Amino acid sequence: MEGTPLGRYVARLEDVILARWKTVDLPISDRARGVAGRVGVRYRVSPDGRTSGVELSASSGYALLDTLALRAIPERVPPFPAEMGRMAPLWHDVSLRYDNPYVATGL
């Protein structure tokens, strides 16, 4: 799928979401408690780029981290490119991982 118009579009979506996710920084108290993990998020994209139906597909076990992952999905993403032709809205799943700098460095 990677070399197809749909594959390229999905890769672009993930780039947009991962760029937003990289700006996530938990409060110091949560980082000190060792909050870290992976969150699965599922969302729907309309041909015009509107997102909807954002939901957790896999919880990290930390409510704040899950909430931040849901917020990483913007209300709008790039619209479907013309090369994809006429398509129905699509559902996409993304896995977002938060590496706690305190855990990683042992601070």
Along the 107 residues of the chain, how does pLDDT read in single tens digits? 668 999 999 999 999 999 999 888 888 888 778 888 899 999 999 999 999 999 999 999 999 999 999 999 999 999 999 998 888 999 999 999 998 777 755 44
The residue ranges of every structural domain in the chain are: 5-100
Q: What are phi and psi of 80, to 5 degrees?
A: -60, 135
* Helices (H), ranges, 1-107: 5-21, 28-32, 63-71, 101-105
**pTM above threshold 0.75:** yes
Fold of 5-100: TolA/TonB C-terminal domain (3.30.2420)
Q: Which amino acid, residue 40?
A: G
Please check whether residue 39 is in contact with residue 69, taking contact to mean a CB–CB distance below 8 angstroms. Answer: yes
